[in-house]
């Protein structure tokens, strides 16, 4: 059993935007035609037009513009307002999915869900705040090595002080967050030496976004967790979207949060 939920934006008590309506708008944008968009989504022109009318009736501004004549023979295009709505919906939907993913940690255990809901939500500058379950604690003098189970099959090891384990009341089976700065994650395209004490996680590069001298790398781990790494622009020549890559993280760079 898994906790899930669909995301809708409502207005005046009526459904306004959902994933299906956003897909229709995007296909109209791609094809320049309501009829062509409807065919791609395997719906009738009438059904597509009714969805557009329903959205237009609730929207503050028109969502589509009709083009007539000219060399292109007319068609339909989205307004700037519609494009802004699509971007807003996608951002809200992303945050909703992150919220649901935290709930899904509970599986079919309602008491575990109650514990998750009772956590204090973290606000930090670190880009990676990964829900995890504490699988084991290994004491070594003043330090402790924690084994953390992420969603799917991915495992992380974190080294913190034994005093921190005591002060935080950490016990095997408790839910926590692995907090990692994006600048503390190395990204390699070849499997490094397995004798290293660092965490080595395999995944697929999902996106690359550059700004100035830096590039932000989104790596989707095999278990489903998304990692964000920030590196210098000059490594872009070796990376491509869809490429298999490895995230290297020192146990000392993984902070524990509750």
Note the pLDDT tens digit of each residue in 152-173.
889 999 999 999 998 888 899 8
Burial of 48 (0-12, 13-18, 19+ CB in 10 A): buried
229 and 216 Cβ atoms separated by less than 8 Å: yes
Exposed (0-12), middle (13-18) or buried (19+): which is 148, by Cβ within 10 Å?
buried
Helices (H), the chain: 19-31, 34-40, 45-58, 80-104, 110-117, 162-168
Question: Which of 38-42, 75-79, 105-109, 202-206 has the least mean pLDDT?
Answer: 105-109
Q: What are phi and psi of 205, to 5 degrees?
A: -70, 120
- pLDDT at residue 114, rounded to an integer: 67
Q: Specify the CATH number of the domain 119-257.
A: 2.40.50.100
pLDDT of residue 178: 92
Which of 41, 9, 47 has its CA nearest to residue 28? 41
pLDDT of residue 120: 47
Does the structure show a pLDDT above 90 at 5? no
- Cβ(168)–Cβ(119) below 8 Å: no
- Lowest average pLDDT, out of 22-36, 75-89, 106-120, 195-209, goes to 106-120
How high is the pLDDT of residue 212? Answer: 78
Q: Which of 244, 230, 3 is nearest to 117 (CA)?
A: 3
- Percentage of the chain surpassing pLDDT 70? 86
Cα(97)–Cα(170) distance, rounded to whole angstroms? 27
The Cα 37–Cα 45 span in angstroms is 9
Average predicted confidence (pLDDT) for the chain: 85
Joined together, the tokens standing for residue 88 give 């807003």
Q: Which residue ranges make up each domain of the chain?
A: 9-103, 119-257
Regarding the domain delimited by 9-103, which CATH topology (the fold level of the hierarchy) does it fall under? Arc Repressor Mutant, subunit A (1.10.10)
163-201 burial by CB neighbour count: b if 16+ within 10 A, else e?
A: eebeeeebeeeebbbbbbbbebbbbeeeeeeeeeebbeb
- How far apart, in whole angstroms, are the C-alpha atoms of residue 236 and residue 231? 9
Count CB neighbours of 227 within 10 A.
24
Strands 214-221 and 199-211: antiparallel
């Amino acid at each position: 059993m898994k906790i899930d939920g669909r995301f809708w934006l409502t207005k005046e008590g009526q459904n306004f935007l959902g994933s299906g309506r956003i897909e229709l708008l995007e296909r109209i944008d791609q094809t320049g035609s309501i009829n062509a968009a409807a065919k791609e989504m395997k719906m009738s022109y009438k059904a597509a037009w009714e969805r557009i009318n329903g959205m237009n009736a609730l929207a503050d501004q028109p969502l589509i513009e009709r083009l007539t004549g000219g060399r292109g023979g007319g068609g339909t295009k989205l307004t700037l307002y519609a494009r802004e709505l699509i971007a807003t919906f996608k951002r809200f939907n992303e945050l909703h999915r992150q919220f649901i993913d935290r709930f899904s940690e509970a599986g079919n255990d309602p008491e575990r869900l109650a514990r998750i809901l009772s956590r204090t939500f973290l606000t930090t500058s670190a880009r990676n705040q990964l829900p995890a379950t504490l699988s084991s604690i290994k004491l070594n003098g003043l330090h402790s090595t924690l084994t953390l189970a992420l969603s799917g099959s991915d495992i992380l090891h974190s080294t913190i002080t034994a005093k921190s384990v005591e002060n935080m009341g950490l016990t095997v089976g408790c839910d926590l967050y692995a907090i990692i700065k994006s600048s503390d994650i190395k990204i390699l395209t070849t499997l490094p030496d397995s004798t290293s004490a660092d965490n080595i996680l395999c995944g697929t590069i999902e996106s690359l976004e550059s700004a100035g001298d830096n590039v932000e790398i989104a790596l989707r781990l095999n278990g489903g967790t998304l990692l964000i790494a920030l590196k210098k622009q000059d490594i872009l020549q070796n990376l491509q979207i869809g490429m298999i890559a490895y995230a290297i993280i020192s146990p000392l760079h993984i902070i524990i949060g509750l």
